[in-house]
Amino acid sequence: MNAGTRFGEMADALEAVEIFHDGAFHLYRPEELGFGYRQSRLPPGGIVTRVRLRLKERPLEEILKRMAEVDAARKGQPKRKSAGCAFKNPPGQSAGRLIDERGLKGLRVGDAMVSLEHGNFIVNLGRATAKDVLALLERIREELPLELEWEVWP
């Protein structure tokens, strides 16, 4: 996966990725791994063991200002435990908005709930199990007019 937000993604900072597969360690440049929106072409069964990032030095004031901007832009996201966005955004649309428009905020299975702050987040109210989360994700997909692709799971 290529984790990221509208502010940037991991592929932006990658210089090299070490992956263990086929019984050996292999070093890849980012362009060899086909990074895109929420995707990459890692070797099947490969395990990322190390990454080398190329970071840009910036004055502290600039870094703090940027952090504040990003934090302000993400205020609508839940502060409870979650794994981030549950579904990929369909082309030209927002999965969160589609879920919101169906009135699914607050929908629960066990202790897994569609966040009240943002429809594309599943939050754990305390004792949610993986089974609860998967069942809730399937309920959401059943309610929508198009099939959403899971963000976290293959």
Query: In total, how many domains does the chain have?
Result: 2
66 assigned to active site: no
pTM: 0.59
Q: Specify whether 48 is located in the same domain as 88.
A: no
**Which residue is catalytic, options 6, 38, 74, 108?**
38
Query: What are the tens digits of pLDDT across the range 109-134?
Result: 999 999 998 899 999 998 999 999 99
- CATH number for the domain that contains residue 27: 3.30.465.10
Distances from the Cα of 43 to the Cα of 9, 31, 59, 87, angstroms: 20, 14, 38, 23
Query: What are the tens digits of pLDDT across the range 12-48?
Result: 889 999 999 999 999 999 889 888 876 788 898 899 9
Q: Specify if 66 maps to a domain.
A: no
Domain that holds residue 109: 82-143
**Which residue is catalytic, options 41, 85, 97, 127?**
85
58 assigned to active site: no
Q: Specify if 150 maps to a domain.
A: no
